[in-house]
Amino acid sequence: MAEDEIKESSSKKKYELLEDLPGVGPATAQKLKEMGYHTIESLAMTTARELEPAGISEKKALGIIETARSSIGVSFIRADELLKMRKNVLRLTSGSKVVDRLVDGGLETQTITEFYGEFGTGKSQICHQLCVNVQLPPERGGLNGAVLYVDTENTFRTERIVSMSKHLGLDPEQVAKNIIYAEAYTSDHQMFLLDNADEVIKENNIKLIIVDSLTAHFRSEYIGREMLAPRQQRLNKHMHKLIGLARAFNAVAVVTNQVMAKPDVFFGDAVHPIGGHIVGHTSHTRIYLRRASHGPIRIARLVSSPYLPEGEEIFKITENGVEDASEEDKTKPRGR
Ligand SMILES: Nc1ncnc2c1ncn2[C@@H]1O[C@H](COP(=O)(O)OP(=O)(O)OP(=O)(O)O)[C@@H](O)[C@H]1O
Ligand SMILES: [Mg+2]
């Protein structure tokens, strides 16, 4: 497995349990677990300051984190090793070949992909489709893995999973069993779920982590200008947690985001995604979705990627899920 390969790139000692780490006794291990650190991977992705509430001195915390990092092979690394880590990046199919091509062969592990767009543009439908696709074998574009689905708007529907699974010839019951679902009731709860997800991810071979929607709770809870700074700070923390999990477990991370109309914009695009720069800079790949007509056709635009050019592709969403659109689909009159 890919994360084993990452681990092998380090010649340092490997630890399995928190208790095994030098400097972590049973009492500290217990405190760390209460704070949501159940695995060496999650410790490797944290900062000394975040360990303060466990009563660990900064010096000791730095030592523990460093050991955890070298144990899973994410210490300072040379660029050639970075390249090796990039080689461990796996790709997950979106269901549409042209959309996959837009993002260089599919959604990548170790980073965050953000889908943003107005209501009904297919953000949640894509999330459902990815839940099914990730369970496919690699030769069909999957990762043979399970899913962690954090749903903030109660829009996850098993019925859709059943239709999409049947269409791909998979056993719907089996597919549904591999989707670990959690509804987040508030932004704090949403953060709590990810902060405590590391063990579930490890035990269930989770290869896809979805937060649908990333921003809805934050948007409704933090109202007014004076709340903007704390909101952005929390969102930033939440997204960094997600990146940490995606990297530690070589998983795909997907978030969705609604757009707001910009009433003061007369030129260019009059919508912008919620969360502004924080979300934009932290999402490695941003895909803007919009409707082409009232039919099943959707347009995916790659808006930002660290290394790919911008571009647009047309796909469709039907009862079967996310698919490539045929020439006939594309030329159907509006309103159909
Ligand atoms: N069973 C189905 N068959 C065909 N199309 C469907 C089916 N279910 C959903 N859709 C399409 O997906 C659309 C809903 O998309 P989705 O829920 O993904 O939007 P969203 O971008 O998540 O919106 P929001 O911002 O409100 O969360 C429907 O309007 C419909 O066009
Ligand atoms: Mg939705």
Q: State the ligand closest to the CA atom of 118.
A: 1
CA of 300 to the centre of ligand 1 (A): 15
Instruction: Kindly report the CATH number that applies to the domain delimited by 89-331.
Output: 3.40.50.300
Q: State the pLDDT at residue 232.
A: 87
CA of 311 to the centre of ligand 2 (A): 23
Beta strand pairing call for 311-318 and 297-304: antiparallel
Q: State the pLDDT at residue 266.
A: 58
Residues 151 and 5: their CA atoms lie apart, in Å, by 32
CATH 1.10.150.20, the chain: domain bounds: 2-79
Ligand 1, atom 26, residue with closest C-alpha: 119
Whether ligand 1 lies within 6 angstroms of the CB of 103 is answered as no
* Burial grade of 328 (CB within 10 A; 0-12, 13-18, 19 or more): exposed
Q: What ligand 1 atom has the least distance to the C-alpha of 115?
A: 21
Q: State the pLDDT at residue 262.
A: 62
Alpha-carbon separation of residue 137 from 104, 146, 210, 282, 319 (angstroms): 19, 12, 19, 29, 23
Beta strand pairing call for 146-151 and 206-212: parallel
Top mutation candidate among 94, 118, 124, 290 for ligand 1, by most atoms within 8 Å of CB:
124
CATH 3.40.50.300, the chain: domain bounds: 89-331
Whether ligand 1 lies within 6 angstroms of the CB of 320 is answered as no
Q: State the pLDDT at residue 44.
A: 83
Q: What ligand 1 atom has the least distance to the C-alpha of 289?
A: 21
Residues 117 and 1: their CA atoms lie apart, in Å, by 34
Q: State the pLDDT at residue 42.
A: 83
CATH fit for domain 2-79, picks 1.10.10.10, 1.10.150.20, 2.30.30.30, 1.10.8.100: 1.10.150.20
Q: State the pLDDT at residue 170.
A: 98
CA of 120 to the centre of ligand 2 (A): 7
Residues 240 and 151: their CA atoms lie apart, in Å, by 19
Please report, in tens digits, the pLDDT of each residue of the chain (336 residues total).
Answer: 444 444 444 346 788 889 999 989 899 999 998 888 888 888 887 888 888 888 889 999 999 988 888 887 665 566 776 677 777 899 999 999 999 999 999 999 999 999 999 999 999 999 999 999 999 999 999 999 999 999 999 999 999 999 999 999 999 999 999 999 999 999 999 999 999 999 999 999 999 999 999 999 999 999 988 888 889 889 988 998 999 899 889 999 999 999 876 656 555 565 677 776 667 766 689 999 999 877 899 999 999 877 788 899 999 999 999 999 988 888 776 544
Q: State the pLDDT at residue 215.
A: 94
